[in-house]
Amino acid sequence: MESTLRRTWAEINLDAVSYNYKKIKEKIGADVKFLGVVKADAYGHGSVQVSRLLEKEGADYLAVSSADEALELRVNNIKMPILILGHTPKEQVKSLIDNDITQAVTCKAKAIEYSEEAVKCNGTLKVHIKLDTGMSRLGYICDKGYFDTAVEGICNACNMPGLEAEGIFTHFAVADELDEESDAYTKHQFELFTSVIEAVEAKLDKKFKIRHCANTGAVARFPETYLDMVRPGLLLYGYGEFATAMGLKPVMTMKTTISTIKIYQEGTAIGYGGTYKTDKITRIGVVPYGYADGFLRAFSNKCSLYTKAGPAKLRGKICMDMCMIDITDMPEVDVGSEVEIFGNNNSIDEMAAIAGTIPYELTCAVSKRVPRIYIKDGVITEKELLLRG
Ligand SMILES: *Cc1c(COP(=O)(O)O)cnc(C)c1O
């Protein structure tokens, strides 16, 4: 289904993805592999389009969250290795094997399940062993008295029929936080990770092909953690302080247009709950962008959208499909005028800070009814509307 209406849209600058990829490659060096994290539809940017580009650029691996996300890439003819970071129900093991998809193994119970299923269908499931070194989420626990149990469990998993342990990985909890305590925590996670690997490799007399742990924060700050492969998400999309420091480019620009303009008298309540009252004659622009498009209601009365005459303050509560901005004294802003929600003029990092959240949440929140407009070599190459039909 193609979008025809010019109303609200997300511009996805694939040239910026290429640029960021090359810059990150320069930083990590030729000997370190690159895994692009494209889970959650590539943080809202479109996993198929981003993966296609990374494949063409020569990236080594992709990571997604679920089997469905991985299969979506295969159906769209992405041939690169794909790692599923999250849980896959055992009923799907055959499909993973048939589609050459790599699965994370996060504990003994899953290792056994996956092994049994792989044997049942006479196949080999490629797996990466996941360690919980301090994130306290998925993975073999290995800290505080669990070291030996972890080493034994991982060795067992590596020896199970039907499983091929190609890699081993862990995830940092505070690599993007700048205080000393966080740095010490990350260092501890990393040392634990390498100690477990060393013990397992000694026991098995075999090396893992791909050891990886560096997310965005670690890619930016801890080169010693790169090992065989890095695993950035946010950095690739060009958001956050580390991207800014590296001179990377934000990939998404959210834009909308003014659909209606009204002039209200002083003392008029604007929107649900009447949370904003005009203090003078006020020119209000109604914009077709609401919380159903991904505009968190927490922004109500708190941020500005960027017009050609500068920032225009949000007035009243954000509705499901609309919001209202103050364009008093901005005569050049008219019906049909373009308004930037976030992008080069209105930084997504500053927007996220206003809502007390992180840029990840804002791009992931962009809903399926917002058409994605893809730009490559400076021109529009694709318009995608994610509604059925
Ligand atoms: C999401 C995720 C990443 C990427 O994190 P960023 O902070 O976006 O770089 C890396 N590894 C795992 C396991 C993840 O879940």
- Mean pLDDT in consecutive groups of 10 residues from the start of the chain, 389 residues: 75 98 98 98 98 98 98 98 97 98 98 98 98 97 96 98 98 97 98 98 97 98 98 98 97 97 98 97 98 97 97 98 98 96 95 96 96 95 88
DSSP letters of 51-99?
HHHHHHHT--EEEESSHHHHHHHHHTT--S-EEE-S---GGGHHHHHHT
Test site for ligand 1: of 106, 135, 171, 221, most ligand atoms within 8 A of the Cβ? 171
- Let me know if 272 is a catalytic residue: yes
The rounded radius of gyration (Å) of the Cα atoms in the chain is: 24
Do residues 15 and 377 touch, judged by C-beta distance below 8 A?
yes
Instruction: Report the distance separating Cα 211 and Cα 104, nearest Å.
Output: 13
Residue in the block written with tokens 């499931």: 125
Instruction: Report the distance separating Cα 93 and Cα 144, nearest Å.
Output: 33
CA 332 to each of CA 257, 308, 310, 327, 366: distance values in angstroms, whole numbers, following the listed order: 13, 8, 11, 9, 28
Residue in the block written with tokens 């790692």: 83
Q: Whose CA is nearest to atom 10 of ligand 1?
A: 215
Q: Whose CA is nearest to atom 4 of ligand 1?
A: 233
Domains and CATH numbers, the chain: 14-245 (3.20.20.10), 252-384 (2.40.37.10)
- pLDDT at residue 2 in the model: 61
Q: Ligand 1 atom closest to Cα of 130?
A: 13
Q: Ligand 1: does its nearest atom lie under 6 Å from the Cβ of 110?
A: no
Q: Ligand 1: does its nearest atom lie under 6 Å from the Cβ of 216?
A: yes
Instruction: Report the distance separating Cα 283 and Cα 315, nearest Å.
Output: 11
Q: Ligand 1: does its nearest atom lie under 6 Å from the Cβ of 215?
A: yes
Residue in the block written with tokens 């080999």: 124
CA 52 to each of CA 220, 242, 300, 372, 374: distance values in angstroms, whole numbers, following the listed order: 25, 25, 37, 16, 12
- pLDDT at residue 4 in the model: 60
Instruction: Report the distance separating Cα 43 and Cα 51, nearest Å.
Output: 12
Q: Whose CA is nearest to atom 12 of ligand 1?
A: 171
Q: Which of 79, 187, 206, 272 is catalytic?
A: 272
**Residue 36 gets which letter from DSSP?**
E
Backbone torsions φ then ψ of 169, nearest 5 degrees: -150, 165
Neighbours of 184 (CB within 10 A): 11
Q: Which of 33, 39, 126, 130 is catalytic?
A: 39
Q: pTM for the whole thing? A: 0.96
Instruction: Report the distance separating Cα 333 and Cα 304, nearest Å.
Output: 14
Q: Ligand 1 atom closest to Cα of 219?
A: 9
Tokens of 197: 């690997």
- Let me know if 140 is a catalytic residue: no
Backbone torsions φ then ψ of 247, nearest 5 degrees: 70, 25
Predicted confidence (pLDDT) per residue in 268-281, tens digit? 999 999 999 999 99
- pLDDT at residue 381 in the model: 94
Residue in the block written with tokens 């991985």: 70
Q: Ligand 1: does its nearest atom lie under 6 Å from the Cβ of 234?
A: yes
Ligand 1 centroid to 108 CA: how many Å? Answer: 23
**Residue 314 gets which letter from DSSP?**
B
Tokens of 140: 């073999």
- pLDDT at residue 389 in the model: 80
Tokens of 233: 């998400």
- pLDDT at residue 61 in the model: 98
**Strand, coil or helix: what is 349?**
helix
Instruction: Report the distance separating Cα 226 and Cα 212, nearest Å.
Output: 7
